[in-house]
A and B are shown apart, each in its own frame.
Chain A
Amino acid sequence: MFNKLLVANRGEIAVRIIRAAKELDLRTVAVFSEADKDSLAVRYADEAVGIGPPPARKSYLNIDAIIAAAHQTGAGAIHPGYGFLSENARFAEAVAAAGLVFVGPTPKTIRTMGDKATARATARAAGVPIVPGSDGEVGDLDHALAAARSIGFPVMLKASAGGGGRGIRVAADETAFEHHFHTAQAEAAAAFGSGTLYLERFLNHARHLEVQILGDGNRAVHCFERECSLQRRRQKVWEEAPSLAIDDATREALCTSAVRLAARVGYRGAGTLEYLYDDDTGEFFFIEMNTRIQVEHPVTEMVTGIDLVRAMILIAQGQPLELAQADVTLRGAAIEVRINAEDPDSNFRPSPGRVSTLTLPAGPGVRVDTMLYPGSVVPPYYDSLLAKIIVHAETRELALARLRRALDEFEIDGLVTTAPLHKRLARLNEVQTGRFDTGFLERLLTA
């Protein structure tokens, strides 16, 4: 048991975790870089410790400084949030070696599921459908080309150690494949420290669905799916639950496959299994697992009523999962839009700066997760996510109406944001009827 939790993150997720910890009567510790000393997380936490200069490598990725901050404050556990060190097995090991609790899965699970090739092999062993691919890393060009021929074109070259949509190239045919192979290897080595690649069939018109999992190391339940097909440069911009694309039988098959995989690795904590879903065939394929809380977790919280961050902390305290699968039910529809500091009219150019005035939406069925306050400074050094506006209503149609209303209430000056893009999306016919795939938004933006 621990009674003081250190949050090794920043921005809206640090605020979110501090809120959950406070509701559990835990003491909270924020860590901050020099750029975040006036942040909301620092204000809300009981204590705050500076861990270095603005660049993440010198602060939020500095394992020694974070563990020293935990020792200094007497924190018994560390919550990594998302991004930064959240899927770094070495960090999870260092936390345990320092006698602290890591709020998340074991280092072994992070390694197994974090490496895309081993994750696929594990999924296959658990009987979870996977995208036709190379069954692990491909060696030299000749072997890779042979594998690509048997998978069929178009084929994706993916970095084994990649993630977040980075380290991926698509080859339409053999010529393109030969052209991309060495570049992809070099890029993977430069970006992720490992040049090993694996291959996967590229599905032209697919949806991105994902299943939320909670496990206590012995038992796991699913909290249904999220539909995250509206993406730009493989970054999600709009997420919702449930997905309009699947019927109850498919939902059951999809979600129970995720539980099988979670159970197989003895999953502990909150995790998400990402799938591609083919509207034409009704097939779903596991692509990867994120062994952490995700940005879009509030969508699931709204439709199930489960506080996922609270559940993560309770599991980390050693409590068995209280929920049985039958306790997890879907109610209504929820949508989340990501408000980023980017200019949608100027090719999504970043827009850091100082917030002068701010009006956040409120009222029935509206939740806003943000670190903004009037006068807060959004530094240029980190992610552009400013706020998540989440709406919940009895039906998707009502949720859309609520989203349009909430976006009309949202006002911010001092920064340019992606709010106008979401106002447009919320009124589009294709979005209202749920007819989109992972390529929809980019086609819309280049049309």
Chain B
Amino acid sequence: MAQHQVLSPLPGIFYRRPAPEKPPYKENGDRVAEGDVVGLIEVMKQFTEVHADAGGKIVRFLIDNEAPVEPGQPVLLIETS
């Protein structure tokens, strides 16, 4: 079982939902395809989508919703089978 880490492209605040009252883009255990949106990063009030750069099954998110992230920090772990 190969595991892949999706890294944050930017510094900022990580959001798992498109809006506060919306459900998360993805949950632990969900399947993702390469290119799927898995979160948002807010940098100086601008929002950038985070995309999965590999397909597979999400083992778990490594950053909480609304937590700070650094560039290159792993955001989630994907099992690429």
Contact = CB atoms under 8 A, between A and B. Distances in A.
B58 to A, nearest CB: 24
Interface in A53-111: 53-55, 57-58
Contacts of B46: 349-350
B20, B22, B46, B67: most-surrounded residue (chain A CB, <10 A): B46
B21 A190 contact: yes
Interface stretch (A130-138, A325-333, A380-388): A380-388
Contacts of B20: 190
A124 B10 CA distance: 47
Contacts of A381: 12-13, 42, 44, 68
B21 A55 contact: no
Given A54-B68, A55-B68, A380 B19 contact: no
Contact of A380 (B11, B22, B66, B67): B11
B11 to A, nearest CB: 4
Contact of B68 (A53, A341, A342, A384): A53
A271 interface: no
A54 B68 CA distance: 7
Given A55-B13, A380-B10, A350 B68 contact: no
A217 interface: no
A298 interface: no
A352 interface: yes
B12, B45, B67, B68: most-surrounded residue (chain A CB, <10 A): B45
Contacts of A35: 68
A95 B34 CA distance: 49
B43 A352 contact: yes
Contacts of A349: 46
A190 B46 CA distance: 17
A55 B43 contact: no
Contacts of A55: 13, 66-68
A352 B11 contact: yes
A350 B68 CA distance: 16
A54 B66 CA distance: 10
Interface in B38-52: 42-46
Contacts of A383: 44-45
A112 to B, nearest CB: 27
A342 B22 CA distance: 30
Interface string B14-34: 000001111000000000000
A32 to B, nearest CB: 15
Given A55-B66, A384-B44, A190 B11 contact: no
Interface in B51-69: 66-68
B31 to A, nearest CB: 27
29 contacts: A53-B68, A54-B13, A54-B68, A55-B13, A55-B67, A55-B68, A190-B19, A190-B21, A190-B22, A341-B44, A342-B44, A349-B46, A350-B43, A350-B44, A352-B11, A352-B43, A352-B44, A380-B10, A380-B12, A380-B43, A380-B44, A381-B12, A381-B13, A381-B44, A382-B44, A382-B45, A383-B45, A384-B44, A384-B45
Interface of B: 10-13, 19-22, 42-46, 66-68
Interface of A: 35, 53-55, 57-58, 190-191, 341-342, 349-350, 352, 380-384
